[in-house]
Amino acid sequence: MVLLKRLKLIELLVVLFLLGLVVFSCDSGPSDDNKNPLKIKIGQMIMVGFRGLELTSSNPIRDDIINLHIGGVVLYDRDIPDGLSYRNIESPEQLRNLISSIQNIAETPLFIAIDQEGGWVNRLKVQYGFPLTVTQQYLGDLNNPDSTRFYANRTAITLKDLGINLNLAPVVDLNINPNSPAIGHYERSFSADPDIVISNALIVIEEHHDQNIYTTLKHYPGHGSSTTDSHLGFADVTDTWQHIELEPFAAIIDSGKCDVIMAAHIFNQNLDPNYPATLSENTVTDILRDSLDWGGLIISDDMQMSAISDNYGLETAIELAINAGVDILLFSNNSTTFDPEIAHKAIEIIYQLVQDGKISEDRIDESNLRIQALKQFLN
């Protein structure tokens, strides 16, 4: 997998121009709204969850992909808002067909994402016909490279076979609070020791890269010390977060093997007195991009989580996140609500924010370059 993180945007622009992957505006303007170059670039910044075990003609995700040009989808097995035990995943053959049908209607290849950490956070369950997985804590307690490689390889091969190209894993949070309702409680962290986290996470990443699958480090800048869950409400780690929680992110960035980093909705007054990480320019740009030297893709945690939705309006949250430096906004449609129009709403909000001068088109172009830089290697 080609290392892109240290390329300057101007160099990346030249590469993508030669490959014909960058969308540029024309003075003559688009013939219709679906071909508006700015909206196409904005659409690429949106990843959404959807309902359906197959792609029917009436499924709203068709319009999201064909006409709104969204950049990706995220898959789930259970539908939380409806309390159903099914959503997108029933069996390997069914899921393989669903993903293929979705990619076939996309003008630009989609990121097909899933949270396949293993153990508790595991969308591809044995009951659906998929291989057994274990938690990251189990692997960290063993701290045996062969064991971690075995399970990571099994996961990566499974994802490759299905057509999934982006795993929203590994978790590189430190297990500082074993009772953390978001991390420790579900055994999602390899360890409280950053060296154990780094070494095991790198094995997971390597095995995914061998199958041409991208990985995502989460949850920046560290969720492992939290005493509350950002899925359920405001998560303040001001008194618990430690600077050591940045070490896994820094080390894996320096290794050259980082693909994507997920920004968390945690609030830390010491990093930003006003906003949680996802909405914080100081946390995302000043620290992650400038201090840790990360020039690659940043995705938000689910923008519909209560930590965001209960405290910020949709427009405000979107404006802050993009200006903070986030490239892809994730709307899982699987927390407290399902909104089939969320992609349309988000794109229209961003488009209007650009028209109003609240988000610059240059900022949109920066994200588009990072997105297409990874997409050029999708199969």
Active site residues: 231, 301
Determine the residue type at 328: I
Q: What is the DSSP string of 215-240?
A: EEEEEET--TT-SS-TTTS-EE-TTT
Q: Are the beta carbons of 329 and 347 closer than 8 angstroms?
A: no
C-alpha separations of 286 from 95, 116, 290, 294, 316 in Å: 40, 30, 5, 10, 20
Q: Are the beta carbons of 156 and 206 closer than 8 angstroms?
A: no
User: What tokens were used for 60?
Assistant: 């709203």
Q: Are the beta carbons of 323 and 279 closer than 8 angstroms?
A: no
State the Cα–Cα distance between residues 293 and 252, nearest whole angstrom. 11
User: How deeply is 98 buried, as exposed, middle or buried, from its count of CB atoms within 10 A (0-12, 13-18, 19+)?
Assistant: buried
Q: Are the beta carbons of 222 and 182 closer than 8 angstroms?
A: no
CB count in 10 Å sphere of residue 148: 26
Per the listing, tokens 């893709």 go with 297
What angle (nearest 5°) sits at the alpha carbon of residue 37, between those of residues 34 and 40? 60
Cα 257 to the chain's mean position, in Å?
Answer: 16
> Rg of the Cα trace of the chain?
19
At 105 the three-state DSSP class reads coil
At 261 the three-state DSSP class reads strand
At 267 the three-state DSSP class reads strand
Tally of residues, the chain: 379
